[in-house]
């Protein structure tokens, strides 16, 4: 399937990316799309690769995460050099971490607007993965509001079809009194032309995203509390980037859905793929625990009809134009087992169900956690793909293979001394085997709890 970029000023705006596919047949895509806790997504696309930037939960980290994919099924995690909490700190900064990136491309350059310490910082780079640098040296684009009138976070860039660029931003304090501001960006993308304007629509709290369709300007946003089920997506419509914006009669368009176990959906972006629009948003992990910030990125179709955005059903799976590029190489084990499970929500089967919404976790008392996959006879395993709960944490384990039904084992990779980070952690095997074992070892306080979203095998079954 061939991809080409359709990301342009004509359909752009904050956080939009596009793709086109030769094939138009829709494929099955499960939610969540990312293996981990990531919120506030932003996407750009270059030469067939999508770059998804996101807040890393719980409640942000000292760095920014970026995931790359060519098919929305298989992702690779990256830790960017900038922004960091250390590099983005001013005399007015508070304790808040790296949140809510917005990345856009203009004239071959990439610009990022990101919240750190309740201030908006602007970065620039020559490529989506950087290296990134602060476009303003050592100061923020928008400093903290010391009057506490509003919360200086959630900046989102929008490029209109006349080439003019705008920045929208703003939230509220203590989950009330959100304010949305907009200003036209200068040609350097890191200054403003004129004073910011307050364009706060009805029921606005945070997470503004401008979407232009059918000659109308749709200011979409979130309200409620991201820590509970009240969080949702609303929208208001205007005739120009500065409004005024009138909330639509069918707003909100995306909210909690008990039957589908979707809680707190919001803070979104929009991508266009094969001529169709999709909303990417975060929701709470399962099992749902109110008051926590373990959010996961999901996708759903989005449709604009005239001056209306259709109500969105938060599907647990969606149809999508891009197929799993590795689909033909997956090998399913005949049986799986683990030394322990933390509870019935985290059984070993969760690591083999092809879902980023479930995971296996060893019992807290299990100091030598282990999981084993057994195949129906010998199969050729090329690569073992390990998707840990947190890609930036250290996991200490070794991977072994057997050719005699577990009577003896050969080490394929040993991370027991230095640990492994990233997602996926790739282990090259390149031989026939009838079983694979992942065995964790006791480690110091830097070690993460043994917990995997998925343990997957690439290769082919023996004919």
Rounded to whole angstroms, the Cα distance separating 433 from 406 reads 10
Nearest-CA neighbor of 400 among 409, 388, 391? 409
Q: List phi, psi (to 5°) of 233.
A: -110, 130
Nearest-CA neighbor of 83 among 109, 33, 119, 107? 119
Marked catalytic residue, from 71, 154, 206, 277:
206
DSSP summary character for residue 328:
G
Q: List phi, psi (to 5°) of 349.
A: -60, -25
Marked catalytic residue, from 30, 40, 160, 389:
40
Is 40 among the residues known to form the active site? Answer: yes
Rounded to whole angstroms, the Cα distance separating 182 from 102 reads 14
Q: In the beta sheet, which residues pair with residue 296?
A: 283
Is 86 among the residues known to form the active site? Answer: no
Rounded to whole angstroms, the Cα distance separating 55 from 76 reads 16
Four-residue CA torsion sign, 120, 126, 130, 136: negative
Query: Is 348 strand, coil or helix?
Result: helix
CB neighbours of 273 closer than 8 A, spacing ≥ 6?
18, 19, 20, 21, 320, 321, 322
Rounded to whole angstroms, the Cα distance separating 34 from 102 reads 18
Catalytic residues: 40, 206
């Amino acid at each position: 399937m061939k991809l080409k970029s359709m990301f342009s000023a004509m359909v752009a705006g904050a956080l939009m990316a596009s793709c086109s596919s030769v094939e138009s047949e829709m494929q099955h895509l499960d939610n969540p799309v990312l293996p981990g806790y990531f919120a506030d997504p932003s996407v750009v696309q270059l030469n067939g690769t999508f770059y998804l930037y996101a807040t890393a939960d719980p409640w942000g980290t000292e760095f920014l995460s970026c995931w790359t994919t060519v098919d929305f099924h298989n992702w690779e995690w990256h830790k960017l050099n900038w922004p960091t909490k250390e590099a983005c700190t001013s005399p007015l900064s508070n304790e808040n971490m790296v949140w809510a990136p917005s990345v856009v491309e203009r004239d071959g350059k990439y610009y990022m607007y990101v919240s750190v310490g309740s201030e908006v910082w602007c970065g620039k780079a020559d490529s989506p993965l950087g290296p990134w640098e602060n476009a303003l040296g050592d100061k923020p684009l928008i400093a903290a509001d010391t009057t506490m009138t509003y919360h200086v976070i959630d900046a989102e860039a929008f490029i209109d079809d006349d080439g003019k660029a705008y920045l929208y931003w703003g939230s509220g304090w203590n989950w009330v009194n959100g304010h949305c501001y907009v200003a036209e960006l200068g040609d350097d993308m890191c200054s403003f032309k004129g004073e910011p304007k307050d364009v706060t629509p009805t029921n606005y709290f945070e997470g503004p995203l401008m979407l232009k369709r059918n000659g109308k300007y749709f200011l979409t946003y979130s309200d409620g509390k991201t820590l509970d089920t009240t969080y949702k997506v609303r929208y208001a419509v205007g005739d120009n980037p500065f409004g005024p914006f009138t909330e639509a009669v069918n707003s909100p368009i995306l909210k909690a859905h008990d039957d589908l176990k979707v809680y707190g959906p919001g803070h979104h972006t929009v991508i266009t793929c094969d001529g169709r629009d999709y909303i990417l948003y975060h929701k709470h992990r399962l099992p749902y625990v109110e008051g926590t910030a373990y959010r996961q990125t999901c996708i759903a179709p989005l449709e604009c009809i005239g001056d209306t955005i259709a109500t969105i059903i938060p599907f647990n799976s969606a149809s999508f134009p891009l197929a799993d590029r590795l689909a033909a190489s997956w090998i399913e084990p005949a049986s799986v087992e683990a030394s322990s499970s933390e509870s019935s929500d985290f059984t070993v089967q969760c690591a083999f169900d092809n879902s980023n919404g479930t995971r296996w976790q060893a019992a807290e008392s299990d100091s030598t956690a282990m999981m084993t996959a057994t195949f129906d006879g010998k199969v050729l395993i090329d690569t073992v793909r390990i998707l840990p709960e947190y890609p930036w944490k250290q996991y200490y384990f070794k991977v072994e293979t057997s050719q005699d039904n577990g009577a003896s084992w050969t080490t394929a990779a040993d991370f027991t001394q230095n640990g492994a980070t990233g997602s996926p952690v790739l282990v090259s095997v390149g031989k026939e085997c009838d079983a694979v074992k992942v065995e964790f070892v006791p480690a110091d306080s830097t070690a993460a709890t043994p917990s995997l979203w998925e343990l997957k095998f690439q290769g082919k079954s023996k004919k």
